[in-house]
Each structure stands twice: as C-alpha cells, then as structure tokens.
Amino acid sequence: MTRPLLLRLVTVVGSSASFHLMLSAVPAYTQSAPGAGSGMAGLATGTLMLATVAGELVAPWLAARCGYRLLLGAGLLLLGAPALALIVSQSAACLVAVCLVRGLGFAFALVAGGALTAELTPRERRGEGLALIGVMSGVPSLVGLPLGAWLALHTGYGPVCWVAALAALASIAAVPGLPGREAASEPPPGTLAAARSGALGRPTAVFAVTAVGAGIVVTFLPSAVAPEHAGVVAVALFVQPAAATAARWVAGRRADRHGAAGLLVPGPASASPRARPSH
C-alpha cells in the first residue's frame, strides 16, 4: 500500500460511484423524459455500453500519445461533467448524448487506470492487486446501484446527477499524484489485431458475455418490477454487486496461486440471466 496506490484507489472509488449511481437511475429517468418511448431505457444503456466498448478500443492509441495519467483525468472529467446536463435538459437527445460521452469517459478511466494499477503492483501479486482494485470499485457499485434508484424515487433525479458528477470530478484531484508516463513515439499494436489472437480474444469474449448479462439485469430490473415492490429492486441491486465484490477478491487471490484459466467458465455461466415465465 504505497501513496500512489492509495491515490489510485481514490480515482477508482470516484469513477465507480459516478458510473453506478447513474446506471440504475437512468433507465427509470427515461420513463419521465419528454418524447421517450418504451425502448428508451434500452437505448440509453445500450449507448452507454457501446460507447464504453468503443472508448476502450481507442484508449490505448490515445494513451500512447498523451500518457495514462492525462487520459485518466480526461476520463473522469468526461464521466462526471455530462451528468449535470440532465439537470438542465430532459430531452431524449440530451439523454443519449450524455450516455455517449459518459461511456467514453468511463472507458478511458478503466483503461488508463488499469494500466497504472499494473505499474503500481508487483508482478507476483498482480492478481491480488487487481482484486483490491476490484473490491474498491465494487463497494461503490454495491452502494451506488440501490442508492441511485432510491434517491431518484425519494428526492428526484437532480440530486442523483449532482452526486454522480461530483464523485468523478472530485477524484481528479488525486490524478497529479500518480506516476507519469511519457507519450510513446510509436503507436502500440492495434487493439483489434491483439484481440484476434487467442490469448486475448478468448478472455475478451468471456468478459463481453458476462458484461452483457449483468447489464441486462441492471437495466430492466427497475422497470420489470411493479411499483409496489420497488423495495425488492433495491435489495436485488445490493445483492448483485455484493456477490461480485466478494468474488473479485477470491478470484484475484486464486489467480496468483493457481492461475486464472479455471475461472473463465464459471464466470459467464453464473452471470447468465435466468427468468421464470409469468403466468
């Protein structure tokens, strides 16, 4: 636990809290937005996720030119500032644009922050170091998912937007204390080319399937449950990240000792959404 690693944890908490507070509140927010149809919740979350994937593809190219620290700061800015736009405008176009920009910001924070985490962690304990980061990002999701839905229900969407924006923007203060990295003179190998290799492509596919399953549950659970059972949604949104946070720590420690390959099958299997037909 060094000072740079502690500062990195501050950025992890800020980005995760900002992201997950809005993740559960936005699908419900779309139902009250003028001109928003029944499919607006899926469009908003889909835009957020697609922008995150696209941002992760271009982030290595940007990091090679501006360095991880600058990219992390830019990611936190793009994640936090656009949330304030929803206080001013409730139009569907504004909502989609905000999700687009915030998705890019979250992607930049993930990629740049992950690279800095790897530099700050000894190689022989990298799995445990990444698990620590996972736990620190899991705790805000554990609190943020149900809190975002609860705040939106009891105080309106304005406070949710303010808290989400401030969480990301305040954590920018920790970025200057992180180790710098000179911009590379040559771009790194292409991300798409690297993903086509089996060594990276297979884990990427596993992560994609798991993320889609988790995103479906979080997006449609608030609107799939009757209003009189809204408390069940808050409990479910608490249990899911709680289990994910505990599993990250176990997975990181196990990977350092026994390798990570044995965890790839249980991951998507346990994340697959299961539904019971209604009668």
pLDDT digits (tens, 9 = 90+) for 154-208: 888 888 999 999 999 999 999 999 887 654 445 555 555 555 555 666 666 766 6
Between 235 and 173, name the one with better pLDDT: 173
Mean pLDDT taken over the chain: 78
174-178 long-range contacts, CB within 8 A, separation 24+: 174/7, 174/8, 174/10, 174/11, 174/14, 175/7, 175/11, 175/69, 175/72, 175/73, 175/76, 176/69, 177/3, 177/4, 177/7, 178/4, 178/7, 178/8, 178/11, 178/68, 178/69, 178/72, 178/116
pLDDT of residue 277: 45
pLDDT of residue 189: 52
Cα(58)–Cα(60) distance, integer angstroms: 6
Please tell me which of 69-73, 83-87, 183-187, 210-214 the model is most confident about, judged by mean pLDDT: 69-73
Whole-number percent of the chain with pLDDT over 90: 21
Between 68 and 132, name the one with better pLDDT: 68
